[in-house]
Structure 1
Amino acid sequence: MSQEQVKLAVIDNPAFEKQNAKIQQPQRMELLTVLQTTLVLDQLLQLFSREVQQWVPHDGFKYRHETIGLAVQGGRQAHHRCHYTLTMEEQNLGELTLQRRKRFSESELRGLESLLCCLIYPLRNALLYYQALQSAYTDPLTGLYNRTALHSVFQREWKLAQRQKTPLSVLVLDSDYFKQINDNHGHAAGDAALIKIAHCLEQTVRASDIIFRYGGEEFVILLNNTPAEGGYLLAERVRRAIQDIDCSDIAPDLRITMSIGVAVLNHSEETPEQLLKRADDALYRAKRQGRDRVVVA
């Protein structure tokens, strides 16, 4: 049977700090020094897990912050676990769970609670840094990744595909006659339509697919480990889903369609920029052929 979860709210409480300052003070200072070396959340949690191993051995950890939709895990799952809700000055810092195959002793839990105090400030700083990056990489209207994010994510996915010799497909999408929406119904209606398109894309693509608002009414989707046929099938599914968007709350006669270009990475020499251009060229062929269609490069 798994151990019951131990729930603790770690707060910025002087009495709590004073009580635990007597516990493993050298270890606390050593841990705090290590944790202050990074603002990257994944690295911070990995460091905490690694350093705490010497005092509280464990097989793995899970961290989640539901408010910002963040989840990180490391190591292996196990039956016995201790669970902590982390807060500071009433600010939610997420939840951390440590897991292992045997029960945690009471002395280990007390020591861990002391060591967790060292995580609070570095964790808060890492969360602020993460949110700042998300803001820089997120389109404020649709909530999708923006053009700035596309460059770094594309490079990462391209390198992964090259290294593992797996297919990488790109979809470039453009809403047909979108200028008419702004001209006939106003820019507020255009913004509402873009939000509906973004939501439709999020609901239609796979969890592993990455969506970007590339600019204006143009979007890009990266499909890792997906050959041309799979890219085409997903593009057709997206095209049909866009057709079915209900825009009656924006304007009674408003209907949205999408032209889509698809290209798959040529592993020999092709760069991300060349791959994106081929998909973009396929998009414009779709426009010239009558719009509301998918063309594969």
Structure 2
Amino acid sequence: MQTLNLVNNDHIEFNAFTLFDTQDRQNNSRKLALAEQLQTSLEIDTILNIFAMEATKFVDFTGLYFKSDVTSGEMRGSKLARKERHFELKINKRYIGTLTYALNKPMPLASYNMLKNLHTLLVHPLNNAMLYQQALSLAMQDGLTGLGNRRHFDQQIKRAMHHANRQGTKVGLIVCDLNKFKAVNDNHGHHVGDQVLTHFAQALIESVRDSESLFRFGGDEFAIIVENADEQALTIIESRLQHSVNTDSLLARYKVGSSIGCALMTRADNEYSLFERADSCLYQQKLAQPCRLSII
């Protein structure tokens, strides 16, 4: 009778019985590291950049894009390609958005399956970023009209003027308020007053291009930031706004008009002086005095 002796050798580096266990530990370690990195930002573009560094190990793509019903983002340096592969991202069967890879050649099935597995690490950071951006948007939005609020205006005017100084362009500012608005509130109630405000906000929207920014400071005070502006652009917007107000049936019913003041950024301006000049022009219009745009 023969005896089989099994000998443990702790010095053997390779052990076939532990090969797959080692691979699993390595994969889990990489996934954990990726999950931790994805949680370091609430910016969608940054999250996509982090994720793309891992995804490129499994598939060759030239662009990575995310789009949802409320927002979108893309990997830095993304370029369109001949083919695209779309993945619907879901959390507990709830659709949060679509992730798109720009490809120059078909995606292998193994890569497809690996990416689907990695997407389970991506969905929650993306969802958190979307919720964060929605909260920021609400904090910057006027609840009645949906326009930007004063806090948003303060941020945008600084950004726009800084960009204009770097690019050698100018920012135009239009401020406006409603004539006889107090009488509407006093005689017809705040419900009608709210209707007047929303109709005037719509008149603003109809009077500007998409690139301009609209704001309600509160009460019946509104503002428009116009980038890459000149005197003619401000005059055109003012004319369009007056036309929209004059042709609105509800504003006409309550005999509500608008006073408008415009100012064009100069080299000496900061956000405060630009606003003061536009506001002064508004006040002069109320007094039926001419107001000339400053151009330096």
Q: TM-score range by the shorter chain?
A: 0.7 to 0.9
Give CA-to-partner distance per residue, 1:213-241, whole Å, 9 cap, x none.
11211111111111122112112111211
Distance 1:245 1:51, change over 3 A: farther
Letter in 2 for 1:215: G
Equivalence for 1:152: 155
What's the CA shift for 1:255?
3.3
Q: Is the 8 A contact 2:174 2:224 kept in 1?
A: yes
2:105 maps to 1:106:
no
- Please give the TM-score of this superposition, normalised by the length of structure 2: 0.84
Seq. identity, %? 30
What's the CA shift for 1:23?
10
For 1:222-233, list aligned pairs within 5 A: 222-233=225-236
Equivalence for 2:125: 122
2:205 maps to 1:202:
yes
Alpha-carbon distance in structure 2 between the residues aligned to 1:295 and 1:196: 28
Q: Which runs of at least 4 in structure 1 moved beyond 4 Å after TM superposition? A: 21-24
Equivalence for 1:259: 259
Per chain length, whose mean CA-contact separation is higher, i.e. which structure has more relative contact order (CA < 8 Å, sep 6+)? 1
What's the CA shift for 1:72?
2.4
Equivalence for 1:284: 283
- Please give the TM-score of this superposition, normalised by the length of structure 1: 0.83
For 1:14-163, list aligned pairs within 5 A: 24-66=27-69, 68=70, 70-74=71-75, 75-163=78-166
Give CA-to-partner distance per residue, 1:116-149, whole Å, 9 cap, x none.
1111111121111111111111111111110111
Superposition CA RMSD, Å: 2.2
Letter in 2 for 1:71: S
- What residue ranges of structure 2 are gaps of 5+ in the alignment? 1-23
User: In terms of Rg, which structure is larger?
Assistant: 2
Q: Is the 8 A contact 1:214 1:220 kept in 2?
A: yes
The worse-fitting range, judged by mean Cα deviation, of 148-157 and 96-105 is 96-105
Alpha-carbon distance in structure 1 between the residues aligned to 2:219 and 2:49: 39
Q: Secondary structure at the match of 1:247?
A: helix
Q: Is the 8 A contact 1:208 1:224 kept in 2?
A: yes
Letter in 2 for 1:285: Q
Letter in 2 for 1:28: K
Distance 1:199 1:168, change over 3 A: same
Equivalence for 2:168: 165
Alpha-carbon distance in structure 1 between the residues aligned to 2:226 and 2:233: 9
- What residue ranges of structure 1 are gaps of 5+ in the alignment? 1-20
Q: Secondary structure at the match of 1:63?
A: strand
Q: How many residues align?
A: 269
Alpha-carbon distance in structure 1 between the residues aligned to 2:184 and 2:51: 52
Q: Secondary structure at the match of 1:212?
A: strand
Give CA-to-partner distance per residue, 1:61-107, whole Å, 9 cap, x none.
222222x3x23234112221111221212433222211122222222
Alpha-carbon distance in structure 2 between the residues aligned to 1:272 and 1:212: 15
